A and B are shown apart, each in its own frame.
Chain A
Amino acid sequence: MYAQMVKSEASQEDPEKLAAFQKRIDANEKIEPKDWMPEGYRKTLIRQIGQHAHSEIVGQLPEGNWITRAPTLERKAILLAKVQDEAGHGLYLYCAAETLGVSRDELTEMLLDGRMKYSSIFNYPTLTWADMGAVGWLVDGAAIMNQVPLQRTSYGPYARAMVRICKEESFHQRQGFDIMMKMANGTPAQKQMAQDALNRIWFPALMMFGPSDKDSVHSSQSMAWKIKMNTNDELRQKFVDQTAPQAEYLGLTVPDETLAWNDEKGGYDFAEPDWSEFHDVIQGNGPCNADRLEARNRAWNDNAWVREGMMAHAAKKRAQKVAAQ
Chain B
Amino acid sequence: MNNALFESLLRLGDNTLVIGHRVSEWCGVAPVLEEDIALANMALDLIGQTQMWLGLAADVEGEGRSADDLAMLRDVWDFRNVLLVEQPNGDFGQTIMRQYLFDQFHLLQLQHLTQSTEDRIAAIAQKAVKEVTYHVDRSRDTVVALGDGTEESNRRMQAALTKLWPYIGEMFAADAIDLEMATAGVIPDPASLRADYDAATRVVFADAVLTPPAGDFAHGGGKTGFRHSEHLGHLLTQMQWLQRAYPGARW
Contacts and interface: CB of A to CB of B under 8 A. Distances in A.
Contacts of B47: 73, 76-77, 80
Interface string A83-127: 110011011001000000000000000000000000000000000
Contacts of A311: 149
B90 to A, nearest CB: 11
B33 A308 contact: no
Contacts of A313: 144-146, 148-149
Interface stretch (B22-30, B76-84, B116-124, B186-194): B22-30
Given A87-B33, A87-B37, A310 B24 contact: no
Contacts of B51: 73-74, 77
Interface in A12-65: 57, 60-61, 64
B199 interface: no
Interface residues of B, number: 52
Given A309-B146, A313-B144, A313-B145, A87 B242 contact: no
A76 B243 contact: no
B242 to A, nearest CB: 4
A310 B29 CA distance: 18
B71 A73 contact: yes
Nearest to B48: A77
Contacts of B241: 69
Nearest to A305: B152
Contact of B21 (A60, A68, A83, A303): A68
B3 interface: no
Q: Among B31, B156, B246, which residue has the most Cβ atoms of chain A within 10 A? A: B31
A306 B120 CA distance: 40
Nearest to A61: B28
Contacts of B50: 73
B128 to A, nearest CB: 15
Given A75-B251, A80-B47, A189-B249, A64 B28 contact: yes
B92 interface: yes
B36 A84 contact: yes
A94 B33 CA distance: 10
A312 interface: yes
B182 interface: no
Interface in B134-168: 142, 144-146, 148-150, 152-154, 156
A89 to B, nearest CB: 10
A303 B35 CA distance: 11
Nearest to A53: B33
Given A71-B243, A186-B250, A305 B145 contact: no
A305 B249 contact: no
B85 to A, nearest CB: 15
A316 interface: yes
A187 B32 CA distance: 41
Contact of A83 (B40, B71, B238): B40
B153 A71 contact: no
Given A64-B27, A87-B33, A302-B91, A73 B67 contact: yes
Interface string B217-248: 00000000000000000000011011100101
Contact of A306 (B146, B148, B248): B146
Interface of A: 57, 60-61, 64, 67-77, 80-81, 83-84, 87-88, 90-91, 94, 129, 179, 182, 186-187, 189-190, 295, 298-299, 302-314, 316
Interface of B: 17, 21, 24-25, 27-37, 40-41, 43-44, 47-48, 50-51, 54, 67-68, 71-72, 91-93, 142, 144-146, 148-150, 152-154, 156, 238-239, 241-243, 246, 248-251
23 contacts: A57-B33, A64-B28, A69-B241, A69-B242, A71-B249, A74-B68, A77-B44, A80-B43, A84-B27, A87-B33, A94-B33, A186-B249, A186-B251, A187-B249, A295-B29, A299-B29, A299-B31, A305-B150, A306-B31, A306-B35, A306-B92, A309-B153, A313-B144
